[in-house]
Structure formats: structure tokens, C-alpha cells
Structure 1
Amino acid sequence: MCRCPEVAPQYDDVFLFEIQGDIDVGLLAAAMDDLVERHSVLRTFIVPTDSGHVQSVRRSRRQVLADGSGSFGVDTLADALLAQRRGTAEIVNGAPLFQAQIHPVEAGWVLAVIVHHLICDEWTMAILWRDLSECYAARLQGRDPRLPPLPTTYADYARSQRAAWPTAAARAVPFWKKVLAGYQDGFAWPQPRNTSTLPSTEVRFAPFLFPADRYPSIRELSRSCRATPFLVLLSATAVAASRVTGRTDLLFATDTASRESPAVRNLMGFFVNTRMTRVEVAKARSFGDVVAAVRASWLAAERYRDCHIHPVMQVLGEPNSMRVDMVYGLLEDQPGPRFADAEIRPLPVTPTYHYWRDLGFQWYPTADGFRADVIHKPSRIDPATLAAVVDEVSAVLERPQI
């Protein structure tokens, strides 16, 4: 947020749901209070102090479900809420990190939930919709919510992470220093042939399909190399990036859920960590060697998964990396709240995205293979380079070789 101010407002995630049918707004407001009481992270805010910024918890447990002001149509409400997203200065000076609004429209209501990425990840959003749905059902039926117990709080988790940092860093920093020894920073893509009129940080998403019947090597290599399909796809992305850029030593960043502990699996908050993977393509004799090396690197880093990587990378000079993630679609089973006797329809929200990396891959498993969203800056990655990268990934997966 501080490194790239243009990016900051997009971390306010906006979710809109059109509600038709029988809905008790008063009980929904009470259910929202129950949700905020259960998950104190929804009451947190950032404040500056003499020693830096601190995330604090508001004492009040009431989250008033604010009545939407103004006369908005469904089509224009998303644009209005996106325009109100907060920048860095507001967020680090006490602005609420969670907001909920109910807007009357001609055919019913629109529920708007705005939650900042500082306190949520995809796993958290799945919990939010599940718990809000159950809290509303409990209010409607006059009973207590039937939700899993929470052995800890997000504040306790944060305190434990801070207390563990000196010991964890003493182990992790030497490990990552050894991993990155001799790594030459920089990730230069071919210079764009066209001049984009988009801002330098604005990105686009280009989707591509990789059906299993055309790319059987993904599953075959997973079995023969005893690696997950994601590690095969990460390896293929690395070889493709090497072919396009000419670099044979590359660094990749992958988000991980960090929910291994049962104590935090039902807890809302931001738990995501990042796993770094160095891929030295020149040292491999075959694509299978690349997959095996990536697997070995991933397993070696597993011992340090509880140490947050970002302060470690700051100690080591923050080397540039390319992001490659696997997204498992946690929200597919419940993409929003469910209320009895009401029909709920998610409304499309299409913000403009900004990013500081030039290019990255998000892989998704599908019923018949895999899909990739290639996130790229048109100002830095022109159509020819984008096509070259995707073609090389396809070529590697069709004929697994370096």
C-alpha cells in the first residue's frame, strides 16, 4: 500500500448481493452484530503510534448495518462504492476495515460488504458468508448459532506471531540467505513494441485453458515425480519464462493459506504467507529434473512455513520475483450469504486492478484440466510477449522438455 499508492484502494474488496423475497432487515443487522462479536478482527483499525502503525480492536461490538444513502440503481451502485474505496492515508489513520450496508432498490435490497484485504483472504470470505448465514438463521429461529468453537482469537494469533518472530527469523534468515546465494536480481521481459496508454501499474487478466486430454503430462509428471500438479505447472511456467527472457535463474513467489493449525481454520483474518521458489533451469538436464528440483525446494522450505516471509525478504534486500499461484476456489461452494425465504444473487463488481509486478500466473483446477489467468501490465507486457509466454507454457506441457 505504501510502495504503490495507485494499488492501495483496490485492497478494499467490495461484494454486492441483490436480495429478493422475504428478508428481515432488523434481524440481518442483529446477525451482523453477532458476526462482528464472534470475529473481533472485523472491529480492527490501524492507528499511527510513536513506534509505528498498530492494529487495534474497537471495544464496541455493534456493527450497525448502515442504511444506504442516496438513490442508486443496481447497475450504478457498484461504481459508486468502488469510487468510495479508501487509500493508504485513510486506512492507516483509523478508517474501519469492515463495513456493511443495506440499500433499498426497486425489486428488494442490495447488501454491500466492504472488507479490507488487511483483514481477509479468500478462506476468510468463505467463513464470513457461512457464519453470517448461520447467525441470520439463528436470529430468525430464536436460537443460538450452530458454529464451530474458536479456540483462539486473531489478536492472540498476531501476538503469538510477533513473540515467535525472533526465534523463527534466527532459523529462517540463514536458510533463505543460502537459498538465494548468488542470485542475480532482476526479471527483465522483452521491451514492449507498442506504447500502452494505460497507467504503468494497471493490469489485465488474460484467461487460457489447459484441458487434461491435451496435456496428460501434468498428471503423468505429478505421479512420476511425486509432485502436486501445481509444482508441475510452476515448473512449466519457470521454463517458459526462461525461454522468453533468456534468464536461467529465476525466483517465484506463491501464496499459501497458512491454515495448517486447527485452531485458526474457522477464524477470520489475514493468514496468507508466501513461499519463495528459486528455479535454476540451467542445472537441469530434463523437465523432470526441473520438477524434482522444485519439489525439493518446496519441501525444504516447509520447515520454515510458520515464519512470515516478507520481513525475511526485507532483511535479504527484497529480490524481485514472479508470482505463480494455485487458486482452489474456496468460494465456489458458497459464493455469498444464504438467507431462508430469500433469493440472493451476487452482482458483478469489476474494479480496475493495479499491480507492481509485470506478469504473474494464477492457476485454477477445473473439472477437465486447468485454467490460467495471466495477470500482466499492458505498459510492460505487449500482446506478442504475452502470447509467447503462454505458447511456451503450452509447448512445455505438450512436450515436457527444457
Structure 2
Amino acid sequence: MSNEREADRAAQLRRAIRLKKAAAARRAGARRDAAAGTDDSARTGGSGSLPPAPRDAPRRLGELQRAVWLAHQLAPGDPAYNLVSAWRVRGTLDVATLERAFQRVVARHRILRSTYHGDGGEVSQRIAPPSSAAELRLERLVVAAGVSAEQAAVGAAQQPFDLGRGPLVRCVLIEPAAGAPVAMLVLHHLLADERSLEILWAEIAELYADGAEDAHPRAGNAGAPRLQYDDWTHWSRSRLEGAGADADAVAARREAERSLRSRLDPPPPAAGLPYVATPSPAAGSRAAAPGARPGRLISHRVDAGVAAAVRELARRCACTPYAVYTFAFRLLLDRTLPDDGPGDGPAADQDVADAAHAAADARAEHVFGTPVSLRSHPATRDMVGYFLAPAVLTAGVDSTRGTEEGLGAWNASLRRALADAEAPLDRVLEDLPAALRSGQPLLQLFFVHQQLPAARGLGDATLEPLLLDLGSAKFDLTLFVGERAPGAASAEPGGEPALELALEYRSDRFDAAGLERLLNHYRTVLERLPHHRGRLGELSMLGDDEAAALDLWQRGAELDAGSQPLLPQRIDAALADAAEREAVVGAGERWSATRLRQEASRVAAALRR
């Protein structure tokens, strides 16, 4: 899960706002101190400094890692939180050099040598010495004939991690009987986010190119970053707790918690997607781990012109493509999960339209989440760790507005939601007892926007990205929008797509055919939204084939009697012959055959509209 480009921009914006507020607060404080005859110039360690954690400081689980830790405790064998980066290898690979490069990268980063241990409500981090990386081996799996490299890769990626024993990172090479090998990094999500995977592969490629022989892992952690993830978690905690807490950071956290709490009170209802699965013995082909959520991943490739049109719409509305993609997801949910809000349909008169506009920022009936990167400090940009927090998107869409006006209002609400992402969701929910009593998870629906990985070099070999379905799902439904950077080089003969859509869903809850339609509907919304000139409520999510089928169903099939008249035609002919004879008697009325034909024709015409 990432949204790296948009989330990093949002994080930088939040940090700039905090620094501006902090500077204003310091100026105000200096004026107060001057009036009181004191000097504040000796204070050090403002919000911009991130020092290494003291050597004797306890290493504890980071706040952002807490939800992942709890999810693992509920289902230790669930592969949903196995973070996988798989690549198809084209060309010759030096296995020994790859293993040495992997060992050196693990030696560099303390979090890759960590295990986690619960003790009396606290979870501590234990870090093995750099020399322990020399004990790691690249796992080589030789695949028998008849088994594809992808099938073997899925099986290897599904293997669970023991957070208390480790190691929590694996490097795997799948060698099939025929076809290209597959190279993988598999980590527990507690250690890293998708941005971290990019950092690790870049380091592996650099060390591989150098032969990975200038320093053996037992010799130490040469090239290790001065600041690492445990330094950041200690710094983050110290800014909010204890005598040295940063007053500005504490105030900003409280404001984010207040804002998020107000948007979630009262708690939203459970999302009821209509595509309910029919239980069958074949519904789950893979045996799920105890407590795991069986899932499936489906994906569609989208023409590059759609991404270009989205970027142009974003430019016109002074927002980002990420805002457009989330806006389209909200529109899709409004069609799929209708509510009774003021924005459900075209306004009947001006008073209704004014009321709908006034409620444009009101909460939608159903909320969804999106991951936000909290790499706001410059030192975290190239740091390996888990920096993701969920932003809860609660705003609705006024369907009486046009596309650009509606998108502008959505973008404003989106920015507010991203700013609230620093508030710890679990603690906010503790203040909303109704949310805990409901028995339903708050976030059942998720949206993820990410940069599609491009092919990369590894010595003389080329690595092509490979998407794997691990047969598990973190949430009921997650929509992924993967965007290819404009001008990215193609590694496929037919060219890589500029956009890829994917749905990860609970296969024990939802019907596969229904979710395929849902993904098609989202693609249709994306295709039409940039060019839509009417009200948002008039934007259809149906494809041409679906629209034609619906029109046929509404009108009824054309009758072709051939040589023998069909039953409807015979009834109509009999009523015509009967003319003024009584055909219906009841409820104090007597209808002639002619009157019955007229009423039947009126009802049929109304049904066809």
C-alpha cells in the first residue's frame, strides 16, 4: 500500500504548515519572554532536528506499526501482511553476488535485523548485530516441470513470518524448468512500506554492480545510514510525550484528533456491497490460515489516453491526478452503495439545489480509507521503515454539480482528510464507544494510488515487475490505481500501460463476476469523467454493452411472429375484435375491451421510458 508521490507531497505540505505555525509561535513566545525579561534563544532541538536515539533508550514498536502488529496477532499465518516485490529475470544472474548484496543490505539496516516481542502491553524491538546478516541465505527454489514460476513464487511469498524469532526478510530466486526465473524480496509489512522496497532494490543493484565484495557482512555495516527507523520512532514519541515534548507538535496532534473525531461521530454504517458470494466448495482454492481473510486480486489495463485525460482534468481543476482517482471512486461508491443524502439525484427545483450545495461537504453514508505516507521529515526520504497511516475520507459528492465544481469541492475535503492522517485512528475510536459497540471495522473499503514499478537493471540482467495474487485480503475491498510515469521506458514488446487498475477483495464475501463488473464500472467512470459536461448525477458508469442490455430489458424484446401470431398479438387482436364489449368488471368499474387496450398501452409506454 502506497500513494507515495501524492502522500509525500501532502506530508511535505503538512510539515511546511507546522513549521510556519511553529515559527509564529516562537516569535510570539520571544515577544512574551522579552516582556518578562527572559531569553528563549538557548532552546534547542526544534521540530526540524532528528537526532539519533540515545544508545540506552528502549527500542519500542512505532505508533504506525501498532495496527500491523495487532493484525498479525489475530492471524499469524495470514499472508495479507507479507510485503512482496517480485521480478521476472531476463538475462544472466550471478546468484552468489546477489546473495552477498542481500546480506550487505540487511547488515546496513537495523530494522531488517529486528524481531518484536510483546511484554505487558508494550512491544519491544530487538536488533541483531550486523554480523548476523552473514547467516542469511538466498533461497533457491528449483521448480518441477508443469509448475509455473508464478505459482511457485506465490507459494514462497505466502510463507508466514514469526515476529519473535525472525528473520523477517527473505530473498528468493524461483528457477522453473522452463521460462524466466523470478527474483523476490519478501518482508513482513511491519518492517517496511512500498517506498522502502524501492530503496532496498536500488541498494542491492548498486552493490551487485560493485561485485558486493568490498565488505563482508561480518566486517560490520559499512554504508549504513546514520539515522534509521528506530531513531525516527524515538524522536516522534519524544516530541509528543514527556518533559521534552514539542508544544506545537502536541497541539497539532490534538487538532488532528479533534477534526477526525468530529468527522466520525456518529460512526458510519457498515458498507453493504451488493455482490455477495454464493458459498461453494470451490470458493477458496487455497487453504486459509486460521483467522485469515481469503482474497483474490483481479486487474485491468487501461489505455494511456485515459491517464492523459485524467491529468488534464486535474490541471484544469488545480488538483492532482490522485484527487481525480479518489473522486471517481467516491462516485462509484455512491452508485453502488446509494444513500438518502441530498446529493442523490438531480434537483427538482432551485430550493433543493441550494440545499444540496449547502450540504456538499456533508459526510457520505459510507467512508473509505486511503494510506498516507508520513515521511514528512527530510531524513526519512530514503529511510527503510513503515511510514503509512490511514486517512479516512468521509466527504460526500453533490451530484447536482458539474464535474469541475464537484471535483474542486472534493479536493478541498481530501486535503483536510490527509491533514488528519497523523491522528492515531485507534485512539480516536476509543473515544467513540458507538464505533466499538457496532462490531464492524470502520474501514472496510480502501483506495490505494501508487507508482507502477518500472523495469530495472541488475548487472547484465533486466528485472521486469511481476504482480502476484497471494490469496488473501487486508480489507473487504481495496481498489488499486497504478500509474505509469509519463515517458517511462517500456520493457514489454507491446508497451507498458500508462494505468493499471486492480481490485483485492474478500473472496469469501463477494462474487467474482460482480467484482469484475465493479472494476469495469470504475474504468468507465474514469474514461467519461474528464469529458462529462452535465451534472455528476447524469454520469453513467455503465459500459456500452450494459447500457444496450438495460435498454433492451426496459423496452422488451421485439416480437417476431413469423407465420403464426404470438400470444401477445393474439390477445391484442381479440381485444380489437371485441371493441365495446365488456372485458373487465370490478371495483365499481366496467372497462370495455377498447379501454383495456388503451390502459395497457399507457402502462407499457411508461415502463419503456
1:33-81: CA deviations, max 9, x gaps? 4312321111011112123332321134331242658865595786388
Residue aligning to 2:18 = none
Residue aligning to 1:323 = 446
Structure with bigger strand share is: 1
Matched, 1:355 2:447: no
In 1: Cα distance, 2:325 partner to 2:227 partner: 36
Q: Tell me whether 390-399 or 173-182 shows the greater mean CA deviation.
A: 390-399
Matched, 1:115 2:187: yes
Quote how far apart the aligned CAs of 1:216 are: 7.1
Residue aligning to 1:387 = 517
Q: Structure 1 residues 268 and 104 mapped into 2: Cα distance closer, same or farther (>3 Å)? A: same
Residue aligning to 1:161 = 236
Q: Structure 1 residues 176 and 57 mapped into 2: Cα distance closer, same or farther (>3 Å)? A: same
Quote how far apart the aligned CAs of 1:261 are: 2.6
Matched, 1:66 2:137: yes
In 1: Cα distance, 2:255 partner to 2:334 partner: 31
Contact 1:185 1:320 in 2 (8 A): no
Residue aligning to 1:268 = 384
Contact 2:275 2:514 in 1 (8 A): no
Q: Which has the greater radius of gyration?
A: 2
Contact 1:239 1:393 in 2 (8 A): no
Residue aligning to 2:454 = 332
In 1: Cα distance, 2:83 partner to 2:463 partner: 17
Percent identity, aligned pairs only, is 18
Aligned residue runs from structure 1 range 2-401, under 5 A:
2=72, 5=75, 8-13=78-83, 15=86, 21=92, 23=94, 25=96, 28-63=98-133, 64-66=135-137, 68=139, 72-73=143-144, 75=147, 79=152, 82=155, 85-87=158-160, 91-100=162-171, 113-139=185-211, 142=214, 150-165=225-240, 167=250, 169-190=253-274, 192=276, 194-196=278-280, 197-199=282-284, 201-211=293-303, 213=305, 218-247=310-339, 249=364, 250-282=366-398, 285-309=401-425, 311-313=427-429, 315-316=431-432, 317=435, 319-329=442-452, 331-334=453-456, 338-339=458-459, 342-343=460-461, 350-366=468-484, 370-382=499-511, 383-384=513-514, 386-388=516-518, 390-391=520-521, 394-395=524-525, 397=529, 399=532, 401=536
Contact 2:138 2:173 in 1 (8 A): yes
1:344-392: CA deviations, max 9, x gaps? 6569674532125332211122457533212233443332464156326
Q: What is the aligned length? A: 392
1:159-180: CA deviations, max 9, x gaps? 1233345526423211101222
- TM-score by structure 1 length? 0.79
Quote how far apart the aligned CAs of 1:120 are: 1.8
- The one-letter code of the counterpart of 1:327 is Q
Contact 1:46 1:93 in 2 (8 A): yes
Q: Structure 1 residues 69 and 259 mapped into 2: Cα distance closer, same or farther (>3 Å)? A: closer
Secondary structure at the aligned position of 2:107 is classed as: helix
Secondary structure at the aligned position of 1:254 is classed as: strand
- TM-score by structure 2 length? 0.55
Contact 1:65 1:102 in 2 (8 A): no
Unmatched runs of 5 consecutive residues or more in structure 2:
1-70, 217-221, 242-249, 285-291, 342-363, 436-440, 487-496, 538-609
In 2: Cα distance, 1:81 partner to 1:210 partner: 25
Quote how far apart the aligned CAs of 1:193 are: 6.9
Quote how far apart the aligned CAs of 1:191 are: 5.2
In 2: Cα distance, 1:212 partner to 1:69 partner: 37
Q: Structure 1 residues 242 and 303 mapped into 2: Cα distance closer, same or farther (>3 Å)? A: closer
In 2: Cα distance, 1:176 partner to 1:381 partner: 30
Larger RCO, structures 1/2 (Cα 8 Å, 6+ apart): 1
Q: Structure 1 residues 393 and 286 mapped into 2: Cα distance closer, same or farther (>3 Å)? A: farther
1:270-291: CA deviations, max 9, x gaps? 2122222112235863443432
- The one-letter code of the counterpart of 1:97 is L
Structure with bigger helix share is: 2
Quote how far apart the aligned CAs of 1:133 are: 2.2
Residue aligning to 2:589 = none
In 2: Cα distance, 1:285 partner to 1:103 partner: 53
Q: Structure 1 residues 49 and 243 mapped into 2: Cα distance closer, same or farther (>3 Å)? A: same
In 2: Cα distance, 1:218 partner to 1:175 partner: 30
Contact 1:48 1:92 in 2 (8 A): no
Secondary structure at the aligned position of 1:175 is classed as: helix
Residue aligning to 2:357 = none
Contact 2:139 2:172 in 1 (8 A): yes
Contact 2:297 2:471 in 1 (8 A): no
In 2: Cα distance, 1:178 partner to 1:157 partner: 29
In 2: Cα distance, 1:110 partner to 1:285 partner: 49
In 1: Cα distance, 2:78 partner to 2:277 partner: 29
